[in-house]
Amino acid sequence: MKPYDKVGKIVVKMLNSTVNFAVLILLLLLLFLGVYSLWDSKQVYQVAQTNQYDMYKPTSEEVESFADLQAINSEVIAWLTIYGTNVDYPIAQASNNSKYVNTNIKNEYSLSGALFLDCDNSSEFSDFNSIIYGHHMDKDVMFGGLEYFGDKEYFDARRYGSLFYSGRAYGIEFFAFMEVDAYDYTVYNVNVTAVDGQQFIGNLLSKSKHIRDIGLNTSDRILLLSTCTSDSTNGRHILAGRITDETFADIFYEDEVISASPYRVDSSAGIKGMIERMPRFAWVLLVIVVGLLVYIICDRLYKRLRQKRNKKRERENERKTDEKEN
């Protein structure tokens, strides 16, 4: 064998080892990224779960727990509950409508944000039209479950909610569900006066998918719950209700029917739950990792088979050479 042939083989082996090492590092990085992404996604949803705030929920017997939450964050002003859903959260209000997009109710950075009242609304919900915003999230956290009100049967079965503020509880009677544009000022208007009230109500009803006749008039206080839609960049789902002095019984709680989403699969545990919780990009990473592993394994097996074949040929050639010499 010529010297430069040996050098070439050495270079090829070095390049081969380098490529294998680089592929291995890439695999480890992808695995780390996939595991981190799953963990991070789980953390985002866990922080936004309603049970994270159960200890602070005000009741008719005791409001000290709610005061404890207000001591943590002085911008906490209310508590919203929609009966028969997973919406059971404290409400904040800042001097702008940007803060609580990525800040949770405890004033900590969080992608899930918090439910918040429009900064131009009265914190005592005395305006003719008050708007509460929240993220549309999977697993029905925050306002992710509002989309279910698009189903007529679901809408008809869930008529009431409650709003606690200024030391007492008020009722909410929902009358409409709609999908509108985020820049529709005729809906997203918190400066509606009693003079324009009837026109505002008529506009809401004309844009609604589902309507419940509750005898609205210009002396009522309207509450709009707004969140993004999943199929349109500027699309918004709005559940509209009337704030009342009368409170309503939560028949879902009394019947122990706490699960809000008839379409949701319980994926809280086990391998099945883990698979259902995996986001799409995690599946893509998993496919890439498995593909690379298969490639490396097949490449190694091929090289071993080739080495065995070469050794067998060498032994056969040596045997033939020995026979000729003898």
- The predicted model gives 83-88 an average pLDDT of 93
Q: What is the pLDDT of residue 303?
A: 73
pLDDT higher at 138 or 30: 138
| Highest mean pLDDT pick, 136-140, 208-212, 318-322 | 208-212
Tens of pLDDT, residues 162-191: 999 999 999 999 999 999 999 999 999 999
Tens of pLDDT, residues 26-60: 666 666 555 545 544 554 545 556 677 888 888 75
Percent of the chain with pLDDT over 90: 51
Tens of pLDDT, residues 212-252: 999 999 999 999 999 999 888 899 999 999 999 999 999 88
Q: Above 90 in pLDDT, residue 272?
A: no
Per-residue pLDDT band at 294 (split at 50, 70, 90): confident
E strand or H helix that includes residue 195: helix 194-206
Q: What is the pLDDT of residue 314?
A: 75
Per-residue pLDDT band at 318 (split at 50, 70, 90): confident
pLDDT higher at 138 or 223: 223
Q: Above 70 in pLDDT, residue 258?
A: no
* Average pLDDT over the chain, rounded to an integer: 80
pLDDT higher at 266 or 62: 62
pTM above 0.85, yes or no: no
Chain centroid offset of residue 70 CA? 25
